[in-house]
């Protein structure tokens, strides 16, 4: 029941905020803030309550589960379940949910009610994706994220927002439809094997699939997740969408939406199609490394602050793809930590990019330079998160990428070495970003207000989390360890 | 005819009497309100009588008409949709100064024809139903004769409908010549096993007549012009009631006359389905007129329904019927929005009319968005469940090629739905908000349709069960 609340609260709050926004803009903001805070509190409470049991071996995998019949005619149930992986990602979801409400506080001035309606519904959809244990429900939630995100980009975005929004929509919708076909194929394969019509994840896990068919069905899922992740060459929607979206949109896109792709790989591809995934792993790993290098090189070439950060996402998420398909527990753990740390560090960079853009109305780095003089706190924060992004030991990203590299080494040394070269590339683009924006002479004579209390609160909280992930990741590793164990076990079967 | 025959026929009889009731009300005193009320009363009575008829069903009443769960389901659907159209027309016609009352005579008469189609089990009732449906449509399409386009559209429809009827008759004649039977059941009995030279060409000609009403490629040429030219509520009627009755007949005819066994005919239908999905979606991309966009999109949607038909079996028929229901709700809602935005002079069919609608009239824009998203097949809406059901039925029947075409073309379809959608949310310079009052009848109908749309999208279970029970009568 508590899991249902995680989804229902944002949906209800969105509706309330949408209506309230017509009369009072602050009301819409406060309602949304209260809703995401409440959900965050629930997620943290669940974590605290189950912290002791999460790391024990032999525990039931799902710490909370909730199930009701929904459309029994089609074998569809409303089945939610939370394990360590879902718990981590749901917590991240509502943490970044709070961040995105706060960063929109003054940035969004028009259509405030409708903005928060969209924001809340995206978060509900994302939470639904992380919690759904019924494939139909999963697809439902997967699509629920889509339309509000489209509106968020298309209405409150910048510059070429319509182009970016439509591109985002078409990419994700088309890949989502491929996934729907794959889900249905699985549904019918299960029926022909057992005579039961069901979309239940736990039932479908044990579906015997002929190897040839399995590859095709897996590809249907894989393409959907690879577009979201995004995997090169299916990434071309990302730079546009991230760049043109409002700050909250960028934070959610980079911090959460991309993670649904990684989550899907771990939750569905590995356990459902262990053999096909194993056969496909070399190709996926190569694509992951291509993404790491391509993202780093492309990021280095950008002159637009947000676009640069967008390309770094491609690079970081390449590590996730690599880690998932390396098929070692270390690499898989690394992939999950990378997902979390990337959500925080890249999210924070987008917050800073948004704050800069809000002040000087441009994202061109050529128009910046020397901003440290006038905004030392923001400069320091940017340096901190840039260091996180380049993988400085002590910050979260390092832990994740290090574990991925460590886990990949026994599988393929060549790929591990090439991926490590990607970390080197990260150093170049991250330092160049700080240099061009904040250091050097203040040639344009900017006189700008530094971080205000609200921004400082957001940035401060994000830095604490990133430090925590980097210095003491054990609680996260504990929370997650049962889940990859299961995934590995399934993969080995 | 016995008492229970009359009981079984009672919804149809009520529908047949409704145009007469409207006529009488006009004779007594010409009042728009009274005429609409008479039409509504007739439709409601017929809906209420469905319950009584269900007790007498299934029943073959004369060789012409069969009353079973399936025909009653479609009759209910047709009556309910006509009710919605009447409600929408009321506010729309209030703006006009011409004689308005006759519209309700024509609407209810056409609805009767459509219900006859859904209940027919014989070529004679098939043809009679078709003509009862078609003839009032000529008048309906050209109803606003003072405008130029409606007359042109009505004339076009008249000529093409006449031609298609003659194809249909010729097809029936060929099959009758070969088999000597006109009732669907007897055709099935005589077809069994043996091969006849004229049955396949005859079936293809019949298909041409059916295809014209359904507006599937290549019989779709009238669609955009008629959709654009006809008054908005009439367009809603043409898009739903007239197609729904014909689709009911298509399922009934092919299932109960065993014509599904004629593989050349099924191949033709598959080609028609593919052509409709591809053509409808691609040509809709090129349109700037909302009614024309919806016209091409409806061509594509009928293509999707044919995929369900081709999937066959009870699930195929159920999927097609569910899709029709979802399509009814969605299309009525979409054209309902066009209707309530229309002015005295012209219908709100330009994309420009919708620019920034959300910021002026958020509730109406939200309803229209929901309808467009349902047409596009996004979750939370009836359209999604419909598409899901069609794909599921297709997957069960392993017609993968058709399903993949369905998926790819409906992804293309997103483009033009999004275009309309985005225009509505586009920011305009701040201006004085419009406080246009929605006509109560039309606004109420739209609200009900919107609730229904979301309800079917979230909880389709009861309807699916009902439809499964209804199509069981077909198999």
Mean pLDDT calculated for residue range B319-338? 96
Instruction: Using an 8 Å CB-CB cutoff, list chain A residues near B418.
Output: 150, 166, 169
SS3 A451: coil
- Is residue B433 over pLDDT 60? no
Do residues A328 and A407 share a domain? yes
Do residues A263 and A285 share a domain? no
Give the model's pLDDT for residue A488: 52
Asked if A120 contacts A271 with a C-beta cutoff of 8 angstroms, the reply is: no
- What Rg do the C-alpha atoms of chain B give, in angstroms? 21
Cα separation, B240 vs B382, in Å, equals 15
Q: pLDDT for B274-315, tens place per residue?
A: 999 999 999 999 999 999 999 999 999 999 999 999 998 899
- Is residue B362 over pLDDT 80? yes
For Cα atoms A331, A337, A340, give the angle at the middle one, nearest 5 degrees: 145
Domains of chain B by residue range: 3-474
ipTM of the predicted structure? Answer: 0.83
Do residues A293 and A434 share a domain? yes
Mean pLDDT calculated for residue range A211-240? 91
Q: pLDDT for B235-289, tens place per residue?
A: 999 999 999 999 999 999 999 887 787 888 999 999 999 999 999 999 999 999 9
Give the model's pLDDT for residue A493: 43
Only one residue has tokens 């080995």, namely A492
Say which of B379, B403, B461 has its CB closest to residue A181.
Answer: B403
Do residues A288 and A226 share a domain? no
User: Of A238, A272, A306, which residue is a domain's last?
Assistant: A272
- Is residue A482 over pLDDT 70? no
- Is residue B164 over pLDDT 90? yes
- Is residue A491 over pLDDT 60? no
* Per-state percent for chain A, helix, strand, coil, to nearest 5: 80, 5, 20
Cα separation, A121 vs A98, in Å, equals 14
Give the model's pLDDT for residue A368: 86
Under 8 Å CB pairs connecting chains A and B tally to 72
Q: Check CB contact of B351 with chain A, cutoff 8 Å.
A: no
Instruction: Using an 8 Å CB-CB cutoff, list chain A residues near B392.
Output: 74, 184, 187
List all residues 6 or more positions away from A319 whose beta carbon is below 8 Å from its beta carbon.
Answer: A288, A292, A334, A335, A338, A400, A401, A404, A419, A422
Mean pLDDT calculated for residue range B436-447? 84
**B371, B418, B460: which to substitute to probe chain A, counting the most A Cβ within 10 Å?**
B418
Q: Check CB contact of B145 with chain A, cutoff 8 Å.
A: no
Q: Check CB contact of B401 with chain A, cutoff 8 Å.
A: no
Do residues A257 and A341 share a domain? no
Cα separation, B66 vs A228, in Å, equals 52
Q: CA-nearest residue of chain B to A139?
A: B379
Interface of A with B (CB under 8 A): 22, 70-74, 110-111, 114, 139-140, 143-144, 146-147, 150-151, 154-155, 162, 165-166, 169-170, 173-174, 177-178, 180-181, 184-185, 187-188
Say which of B362, B395, B427 has its CB closest to residue A188.
Answer: B395
Cα separation, A31 vs A405, in Å, equals 43
Q: Check CB contact of B459 with chain A, cutoff 8 Å.
A: yes
Q: Which domain holds residue A184?
A: 1-272
Find the farthest-apart pair of alpha carbons in chain B and give their distance in angstroms, rounded: 73
Q: CA-nearest residue of chain A to B466?
A: A73
- Is residue A54 over pLDDT 80? no
Total domains in chain A come to 2
Cα separation, A265 vs B467, in Å, equals 37
Do residues A31 and A147 share a domain? yes
Instruction: Using an 8 Å CB-CB cutoff, list chain A residues near B414.
Output: 169-170, 173
Cα separation, A103 vs A246, in Å, equals 10
Q: pLDDT for A252-304, tens place per residue?
A: 999 999 999 999 999 999 888 988 999 999 999 999 999 999 999 999 989 99
Question: Residue A233: is the preceding peptide bond cis (ω within 30°)?
Answer: yes
Q: CA-nearest residue of chain A to B407?
A: A177
- The continuous run of DSSP H or E covering B279 comes out as helix B263-285
Strand pairing report for B65-67 and A64-71:
unpaired
How crowded is residue B62: how many other Cβ atoms within 10 Å of its Cβ?
13
Give the model's pLDDT for residue A166: 87
CB contact under 8 A, A169 and B460: no
Q: CA-nearest residue of chain B to A145?
A: B379
Question: Closest by alpha carbon to A7, among A84, A68, A83, A93?
Answer: A93
Identify any residues that bridge with A80 across adjacent strands, giving them in sequence order. A66, A132
Residue B359 confidence class, pLDDT cut points 50, 70, 90 = confident
Instruction: Using an 8 Å CB-CB cutoff, list chain B residues near A113.
Output: none
List all residues 6 or more positions away from A326 whose beta carbon is below 8 Å from its beta carbon.
Answer: A281, A285, A332, A404, A407, A408, A411, A412
In order of A8, A157, A277, B381, the CA distances from B369 in angstroms are: 22, 20, 39, 11
User: Of A272, A295, A315, which residue is a domain's last?
Assistant: A272
Mean pLDDT calculated for residue range B124-145? 94
Instruction: Using an 8 Å CB-CB cutoff, list chain B residues near A190.
Output: none
Give the model's pLDDT for residue A55: 58
Residue A10 confidence class, pLDDT cut points 50, 70, 90 = very high
Whole-number average pLDDT of chain B: 91
Residue A286 carries which DSSP code?
H
E strand segments, A276-381: none
Q: pLDDT for A420-459, tens place per residue?
A: 998 888 999 998 899 888 888 888 888 888 888 899 999 9
Do residues A283 and A388 share a domain? yes
Joined tokens for residue B312: 């066959």
List all residues 6 or more positions away from A130 whose beta carbon is below 8 Å from its beta carbon.
Answer: A86, A89, A90, A93, A260, A263
Do residues A312 and A255 share a domain? no
Give the model's pLDDT for residue B426: 81
Angle between helices A305-325 and A329-360 (to 10 degrees): 170
Do residues A138 and A226 share a domain? yes
Do residues A145 and A247 share a domain? yes
Say which of B359, B391, B464 has its CB closest to residue A73.
Answer: B464
Cα separation, B442 vs B87, in Å, equals 5
- Is residue A487 over pLDDT 60? no
Using the CB atoms, write b or e for A213-240: b if 16+ within 10 Å: ebbebbbbbbbbbbbbbbbbebbebbbb
Residue A58 confidence class, pLDDT cut points 50, 70, 90 = very low
Joined tokens for residue A169: 């929509």
Question: Closest by alpha carbon to A65, among A147, A2, A142?
Answer: A2
How crowded is residue A377: how many other Cβ atoms within 10 Å of its Cβ?
15
- What Rg do the C-alpha atoms of chain A give, in angstroms? 21
Q: Check CB contact of B51 with chain A, cutoff 8 Å.
A: no
Q: pLDDT for B366-396, tens place per residue?
A: 999 999 999 998 888 999 999 999 988 998 8
Using the CB atoms, write b or e for A95-126: b if 16+ within 10 Å: bbbbbbbbbbbeebeebbbbbbbbbbbbbbbb
Give the model's pLDDT for residue B456: 94
Do residues A71 and A109 share a domain? yes
- Is residue A384 over pLDDT 80? yes
Do residues A436 and A353 share a domain? yes
Q: pLDDT for A109-121, tens place per residue?
A: 888 899 999 999 9
Mean pLDDT calculated for residue range B194-203? 85
Mean pLDDT calculated for residue range B32-58? 93
Give the model's pLDDT for residue B395: 85
Mean pLDDT calculated for residue range A69-98? 91
User: Of A220, A253, A272, which residue is a domain's last?
Assistant: A272
Give the model's pLDDT for residue A404: 93
């Amino acid at each position: 029941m508590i899991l249902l609340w995680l989804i229902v609260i944002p949906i209800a709050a969105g509706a309330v905020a949408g209506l309230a926004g017509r009369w009072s803009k602050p009301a819409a903001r406060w309602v949304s803030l209260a809703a995401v805070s409440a959900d965050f509190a629930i997620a943290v409470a669940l974590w605290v309550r189950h912290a002791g049991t999460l790391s024990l071996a032999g525990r039931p995998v799902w710490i909370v589960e909730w199930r009701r019949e929904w459309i029994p005619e089609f074998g569809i149930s409303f089945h939610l379940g939370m394990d360590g992986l879902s718990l981590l990602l749901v917590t991240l979801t509502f943490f970044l949910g709070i961040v995105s409400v706060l960063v929109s506080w003054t940035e969004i001035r028009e259509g405030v009610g409708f903005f928060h309606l969209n924001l809340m519904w995206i978060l509900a959809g994302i939470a639904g994706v992380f919690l759904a244990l019924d494939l139909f429900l999963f697809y439902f939630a997967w699509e629920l994220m889509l339309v509000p995100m489209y509106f968020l980009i298309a209405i409150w975005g910048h510059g070429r927002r319509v182009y970016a929004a439509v591109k985002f929509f078409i990419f994700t919708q088309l890949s989502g439809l491929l996934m729907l076909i794959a889900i249905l194929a699985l549904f019918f394969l299960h029926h022909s094997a057992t005579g039961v019509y069901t979309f239940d994840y736990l039932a479908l896990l044990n579906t015997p699939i002929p190897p040839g068919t399995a590859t095709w069905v897996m590809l249907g899922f894989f393409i959907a997740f690879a577009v979201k992740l995004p995997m090169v060459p299916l990434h071309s929607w990302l730079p546009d969408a991230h760049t043109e979206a409002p700050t909250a949109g960028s934070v959610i896109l980079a911090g959460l939406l991309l993670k649904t792709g990684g989550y899907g790989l771990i939750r569905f591809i590995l356990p459902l199609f262990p053999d096909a995934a194993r056969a496909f792993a070399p190709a996926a790993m190569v694509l992951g490394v291509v993404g790491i290098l391509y993202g780093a090189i492309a990021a280095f070439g950008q002159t637009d602050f947000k676009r640069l950060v967008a390309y770094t996402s491609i690079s970081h998420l390449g590590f996730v793809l690599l880690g998932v398909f390396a098929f070692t527990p270390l690499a898989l753990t690394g992939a999950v930590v990378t997902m979390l740390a990337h959500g925080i560090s890249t999210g924070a960079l987008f917050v800073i990019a948004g704050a800069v853009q809000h002040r000087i109305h441009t994202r061109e780095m050529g128009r910046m330079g020397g901003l440290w003089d006038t905004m030392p706190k923001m400069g320091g924060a940017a340096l901190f998160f840039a260091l996180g992004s380049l993988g400085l030991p002590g910050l979260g990203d390092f832990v994740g990428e290090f574990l991925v590299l460590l886990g990949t080494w026994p599988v393929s040394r060549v790929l591990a070495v090439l991926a490590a070269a990607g970390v080197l590339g990260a150093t170049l683009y991250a330092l160049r970003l700080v240099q061009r924006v904040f250091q050097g002479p203040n040639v344009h004579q900017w006189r700008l207000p530094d971080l205000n209390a609200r921004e400082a609160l957001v940035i401060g909280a994000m830095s604490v989390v990133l430090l925590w992930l980097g210095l003491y990741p054990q609680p996260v590793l504990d929370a997650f360890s049962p889940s990859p164990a299961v995934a590995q076990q399934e993969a080995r079967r | 005819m016995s008492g229970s025959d009359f009981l079984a026929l009672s919804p149809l009889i009520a529908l047949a009497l409704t145009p007469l009731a409207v006529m009488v009300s006009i004779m007594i005193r010409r009042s728009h309100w009274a005429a609409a009320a008479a039409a509504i009363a007739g439709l409601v009575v017929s809906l209420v009588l469905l319950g009584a008829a269900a007790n007498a069903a299934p029943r073959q009443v004369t060789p012409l008409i069969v009353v079973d769960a399936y025909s009653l389901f479609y009759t209910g659907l047709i009556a309910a949709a006509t009710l919605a159209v009447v409600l929408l027309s009321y506010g729309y016609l209030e703006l006009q100064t011409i004689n308005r009352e006759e519209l309700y005579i024509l609407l209810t008469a056409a609805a009767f024809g459509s219900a006859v189609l859904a209940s027919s089990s014989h070529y004679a009732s098939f043809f009679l139903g078709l003509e009862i449906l078609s003839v009032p449509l000529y008048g309906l399409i050209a109803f606003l004769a003072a405008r130029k386009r409606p007359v042109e559209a009505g004339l076009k429809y008249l000529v093409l409908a006449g031609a298609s009827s003659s194809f249909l008759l010729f097809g029936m004649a060929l099959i009758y010549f070969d088999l000597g039977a006109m009732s669907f059941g007897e055709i099935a009995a005589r077809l069994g096993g043996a091969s006849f030279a004229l049955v396949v060409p005859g079936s293809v000609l019949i298909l041409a007549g059916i295809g014209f009403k359904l507006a599937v490629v290549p019989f779709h040429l009238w669609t955009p012009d008629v959709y654009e030219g006809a008054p908005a509520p009439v367009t809603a009627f043409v898009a739903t009631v007239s197609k729904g009755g014909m689709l009911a007949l298509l399922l009934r005819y092919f299932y109960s006359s065993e014509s599904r066994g004629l593989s050349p005919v099924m191949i033709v239908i598959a080609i028609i389905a593919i052509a409709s999905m591809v053509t409808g979606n691609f040509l809709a991309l090129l349109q700037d007129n909302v009614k024309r966009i919806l016209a091409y999109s409806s061509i594509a949607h009928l293509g999707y329904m044919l995929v369900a038909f081709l999937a066959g079996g009870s699930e195929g028929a159920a999927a097609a019927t569910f899709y029709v229901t979802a399509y009814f709700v969605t299309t009525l809602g979409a054209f309902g929005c066009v209707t309530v935005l229309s002015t005295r002079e012209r219908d709100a069919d330009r994309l420009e009319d919708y620019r920034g609608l959300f910021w002026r009239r958020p509730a109406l824009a939200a309803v229209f968005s929901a309808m467009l998203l349902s047409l596009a097949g996004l979750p939370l809406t009836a359209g999604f469940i419909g598409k899901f059901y069609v794909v599921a039925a297709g997957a069960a029947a392993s017609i993968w090629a058709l399903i993949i075409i369905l998926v790819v073309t409906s992804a293309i379809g997103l483009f033009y739905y999004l275009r309309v959608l985005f225009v509505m949310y586009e920011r305009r310079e701040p201006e004085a908000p419009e406080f246009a009052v929605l006509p109560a009848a039309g606004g109420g109908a739209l609200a009900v349709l919107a609730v229904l749309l979301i309800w079917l999208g979230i909880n389709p279970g009861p309807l699916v069960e009902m439809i499964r029970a209804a199509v069981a009568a077909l198999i």
